[in-house]
Chains A and B, each alone.
Chain A
Amino acid sequence: MSTSTTSTVKNDRPGSRSRLSAGQRFARRGWKHIAAVVACVFALFPLIYAFSASLSPTGSLLGSNDLFAEVTGANYQNLLTDPQNPFMTWFGNSMFISITTAVGAVLMGAAAAYAFSRFRFKFRGGGLMSLLIIQMFPQLLAFVAIFLLLFSISEVYPFLGLNSRLGLVAVYLGGALGANTFLMYGFFNTIPRDLDEAATLDGASHSQIYWTIILPLVTPILVVVGMLSFIASFSDFLLAQIVLQDPEKYTLAVGLYQFVSVQFGENWGVFTAGAILSAIPVVLLFLLLQRYIVSGLTGGAVKG
């Protein structure tokens, strides 16, 4: 008797929950899943398509509309062994330029932001304002000027001029400095000045305060700035195309373009294979630094 009563009680509970009809339940929660699935497809399909194309032997994009119809590693082999288009050299160039740019952007931006945030000097307000205003003009406007500037420089310092990787790094560093300084300036301001004063009384010099107190506390924004600079320079095409002329010095973006820029000779298979390979460093970087990025972008709102 007692068991039967408990069982009816048990049956009641799920019964009361299922009083919502299937339609109502969908209206409450189900649509979110559908939206998520659509978003995933939207984001992943191009990747899968490119991956499929890179494995397809036809070399044309139309031929690879049937995903994974034929799978071959030929494209990858071509890519890595073609002596006319030295993919590995481009990869190395890209890594060198991007890493140097990222490190340089962080060091320069942080130093500038520290000065703007902590020192009081003439033209401080004006300096900040002009940084902001200069940022408003797209860099496209400056391409001709940059080209002519590098052209003149290369007559005196060939290692910094046209067709040199360091020259390109210098252009990237200068171009991003304003925005980076502004981004970091805001973050530096969230570090209380009392810390600087405490460290001063503890006997630390300006450089000791900068390296041992401030920089460790602004790590998130350093990571974000470094990462943004890395990605921007890694995927930049136009500037690299203007500055670099020798195939030995191409970056990945410029180099890969060569595969598809020849009319009637486009090799999309090799191109997509190269694209897939060149995506790897950026993806790895994101995975590695993910936790910093989230805290860095919201960091200003959180009390240190």
Chain B
Amino acid sequence: MAAVTFDRITCQYPGAERPSVTNLDLDIADGEFLVLVGPSGCGKSTTLRMLAGLEDVTDGKILIGDRDVTDVPSRDRDIAMVFQNYALYPHMTVAENMGFALKIAKVNAEERRRRVEDAAKVLDLTQFLDRKPKALSGGQRQRVAMGRAIVRSPQVFLMDEPLSNLDAKLRVQTRTQIAALTRRLGVTTVYVTHDQVEAMTMGDRVAVLKDGVLMQVDTPRKLYDHPNSEFVAGFIGSPAMNLFRATVHHRQVKLGSLALDLSPAQQEALTTDEVTVGIRPEDMATAQEGTGLPIVAEVVEELGADAYVYGYLAPVTAANTVVRVDPSAQVAEADPDAKDDGASPVVVRTDGRTPLRVGSTVWVAPNTEHIHFFDASTGHRLPQ
């Protein structure tokens, strides 16, 4: 068990135009569960593989504990990794798979068996120890991959999207199991995922990456309540935050019929005369006609307790357009055929018991305490 430090590391593949990971600075505390999340191609897997020693570090240092492991070969780093496709050895039984690392390390057979059986008990694999991987279900294979990692009691666990090959229900179940297991073992864990729900539910802290650059690293709560950039705001949360672009006039932002005041500090930090206003779907409530924003409901998703209304702004407020933050898939999906007449999707959470009818127009007003302002040109959050 040890802390992990990324000290301004950069990774550029030979022949690539720009680095996959640029100047990443990240401290992971001993025993912490850190999730690396971001859209595909953001460099999260590369970061993990650099820590594993499977990719060369172009620049910077990686430390595990106090030891500089930048140039240490993978097999001497004392780390274990769970792969996306599990990478179980097909010709070995479950027990042999789990005990392989110990065998390489020349642990004697008796000790090896004891440790494999202990791990199997933890993961509920005892009755499968003599089976080959191909005779196991997806969930069981995933547990064997986990078992292979915990048998060694390594310094650090690395997990590269270990749940993406499981079906939805099993994924939720395994998610909690993994989080509980690593906390109980107290091993530092670095977990890569593209699924922000996994990131939010599992991580002690979550690091959001975009194009090889670390955008923000924080606890899930803070990430949700105080995203420090437009990108993080749009990426974290499902459905995604509504982002409107609006012009500032005399420290005021016009949003539909509402005028939102910018604080002096916010006005000070602003570099252009445009801001991006972010409001989460649950921070908008239906209001009296004439208050807030008029929205024409296009799709209503009823989830039982809640209903999400996907709609577009009625032409009344055509001055406000919804900014599409492109890496956040949810926004793009909600609006496959973006209309260019100023109408873009807005998501509002409403009570599930009294759902809106499709095609009806409703006025919604934001909860002014939970409005996020971002600089439209830099994307940075404006201070309170």
A residues at B contact (CB < 8 Å): 192, 194-195, 197-205, 208, 213, 216-217, 304
Contact = CB atoms under 8 A, between A and B. Distances in A.
Nearest to B104: A203
Contact of B75 (A194, A195, A205, A217): A205
A201 B80 contact: yes
Nearest to A216: B91
A197 B83 CA distance: 9
A202 B91 contact: no
A213 B100 CA distance: 10
B111 to A, nearest CB: 16
Interface in B129-154: 148, 152
Given A200-B54, A201-B80, A208-B104, A194 B87 contact: yes
28 contacts: A194-B83, A194-B85, A195-B89, A197-B54, A198-B83, A198-B89, A198-B148, A199-B100, A200-B54, A200-B73, A201-B53, A201-B54, A201-B75, A201-B79, A201-B80, A202-B80, A202-B148, A203-B75, A203-B76, A203-B105, A204-B100, A204-B104, A205-B75, A208-B104, A213-B89, A216-B91, A217-B90, A217-B91
B89 A201 contact: no
B74 A200 contact: yes
Contacts of B85: 192, 194
Contacts of A216: 91
Interface residues of B, number: 23
A215 to B, nearest CB: 10
A304 B81 CA distance: 21
Chain A binding surface SS class: helix
Given A202-B148, A203-B104, 19 more contacts: A192-B85, A194-B83, A195-B89, A197-B81, A197-B83, A198-B83, A199-B100, A200-B53, A201-B74, A201-B81, A202-B75, A202-B80, A202-B104, A203-B76, A203-B105, A204-B75, A208-B104, A217-B90, A217-B91
Contacts of A199: 89, 100
User: Which among A199, A201, A216 has the greatest number of chain B C-beta atoms within 10 A?
Assistant: A201
A197 B81 CA distance: 9
Nearest to B100: A202
B145 to A, nearest CB: 9
B101 interface: yes
B49 to A, nearest CB: 8
A289 to B, nearest CB: 18
Contacts of A201: 52-54, 74-75, 79-81, 101
Contacts of A200: 53-54, 73-75
